[in-house]
Structure 1
């Protein structure tokens, strides 16, 4: 990959991606078909389908019967966004459109609990150690589209959840193939990296992430307070660093005493050796959120099911190439998934 010449560092790549968040162009112009999935513990997750969710023929309206609906055997790709990201992000929309237009895949974005104007109905928050929502989503897809091959793509925290899920399930993942972009792998090292002081981190990355988490927490404050843990919302609203919020909010909501315990439990690196699904990880050596030593090179190399691609310049989830920046990893991801689905 040759990076965009004027996006020559990981921080510049990452900041440029953030600036494109709501951009709409021909590469990203999609309209989702939303379905709210009821989870076994009473939680809700918004599933955003493109171009349309699978509908049993007997349940279709006359208009739906006449419309262009992918065949029930069309492969389905589950997309797990980064933390605090949703199906509305530019990088997600670009991927979703390419999956259908170039690969012929139906896509479904597994948005996190409490996102996309969906109420939080249990005290469980997005947590890097919990793979249950992904597991239930895959089972749901199997029930409404039996026989359709299923793949998955995860980003950042979503990539870590996907990797952890694959390691936990081994041969029983019910996925034909998986791709991760910017996986954290060792969450202790990755979150320590994110906490390092620097101009871009202090002025852009940390303020952006912490503001989103504080907004999410306050939006769902009433439900969060029904959980077993005690939360200090005054401290939460004063927190300026991601690690502070992981200490005050995320780790407590997940049932851990400290964020260090939470990070150890959330790390997917120890489970890479157990993956038994075709798996491709794409990471950047200048990722400001994932240090090179967080990537389990030897575990990936020694597992015949897993492969790793690293590039020198791509930032966190950005990977822009060309004078007029386009996201590079979409084509390799499509090629890999297409080989197995």
Structure 2
């Protein structure tokens, strides 16, 4: 599809990518009543799904996927859920393994390419609910999972009518390199600390799988992927994980209408994360690249963000 012209123009203050990113992550608040459902996965682990509903019974559902070290209560997740609820669409916000406030049961957890868990969520919904229209809205890591899921060699259920992916690191190695630059050092340190803190209990759960020395060797964010992510999830090393999990290679295969919004001032994204060629060659891909927005920071007038309003608008036209 032709590249879409972005109309997003925030106030001057929020045109700074770092300010938009930090404000959206630490300051924004969204109140949403959710009801939790725990599902058991095929390998015996669990996922917690947080549901919210439209006022009237709906046959439409949006599945919302959070980013690295996020959860289903983050404002960038509850924001679109609430907006869609107000417009007659139910929402289920997925907590990835170990992200719902309770350690998961397995040594493995979640990662950027873990589409098997999304597949199980979709299967569970189709088997237990009665939705005729399902949409997927993924953010950052969750956006990569969404796009990879839609482009892999599997039969996508007919109920899935479209997807929206926001601030997506389509090329994981490039994004990892960006996160290790000086400009992103505070973010990298914060991510690494949360990941390592969550890994430490596994020293007790699985002493045969990982040692304290290995955990102590994690000095950089990419070290975490080398020591844990790659080994826990069947990859040779961090580079193999990045290569096989990046959604970029799967974009040509997507066959449902999909909107990607990646801001040009997103400091987490490398040039390869803007899939212009792929969008031009796939009629189902709609790529929007606003000048502003930072990383998941599309602050807008009113209580809803630009990306949330665009997601609703995109779905309404399908």
Q: Deviations over 1:115-147 (max 9, x none)?
A: 213341222211212211100111111112234
**Higher mean C-alpha deviation, range 325-334 or range 241-250:** 325-334
2:204 counterpart (222, 239, 244) = 222
Separation in structure 2 between the aligned mates of residue 10 and residue 325 of structure 1, nearest angstrom: 19
Matches within 5 A, 1:112-127: 112-127=96-111
1:207 offset after TM fit, Å? 2.0
In the alignment, does 2:84 pair up with 1:93? no
Separation in structure 2 between the aligned mates of residue 13 and residue 257 of structure 1, nearest angstrom: 36
In the alignment, does 2:181 pair up with 1:196? yes
8 Å Cα contact 1:280-1:309 kept in structure 2? yes
Q: In structure 1, the residue corresponding to 2:240 is in which secondary structure?
A: helix
Match of 1:62 in 2: none
In the alignment, does 2:311 pair up with 1:339? no
1:326 offset after TM fit, Å? 5.2
Q: Deviations over 1:83-102 (max 9, x none)?
A: 2100111111211111111x
Equivalent pairs counted in the alignment come to 310
Match of 2:164 in 1: 179
Tell me, which stretches of 5 or more residues in structure 1 are unaligned?
53-67
1:31 counterpart (26, 30, 33) = 33
8 Å Cα contact 1:232-1:248 kept in structure 2? no
8 Å Cα contact 2:137-2:163 kept in structure 1? yes
In the alignment, does 2:135 pair up with 1:135? no
Match of 1:329 in 2: 307
Separation in structure 1 between the aligned mates of residue 131 and residue 77 of structure 2, nearest angstrom: 25
Matches within 5 A, 1:1-341: 1-20=8-27, 23-24=28-29, 28-51=30-53, 70-71=56-57, 73-101=58-86, 103-169=87-153, 172-174=156-158, 175-198=160-183, 201-202=184-185, 204-225=186-207, 230-237=209-216, 239-322=218-301, 327-340=305-318
Which structure 1 residue ranges, 4+ long, deviate > 6 Å from structure 2?
none
1:169 offset after TM fit, Å? 4.4
Separation in structure 2 between the aligned mates of residue 293 and residue 304 of structure 1, nearest angstrom: 20
Tell me, which stretches of 5 or more residues in structure 2 are unaligned?
1-7
Query: How has the CA–CA distance of structure 1 residues 291 and 9 changed in structure 2, closer, same or farther, with 3 Å as cutoff?
Result: farther
Match of 1:58 in 2: none
Query: How has the CA–CA distance of structure 1 residues 119 and 205 changed in structure 2, closer, same or farther, with 3 Å as cutoff?
Result: closer
1:40 offset after TM fit, Å? 0.7
Separation in structure 2 between the aligned mates of residue 171 and residue 303 of structure 1, nearest angstrom: 18
Match of 1:63 in 2: none
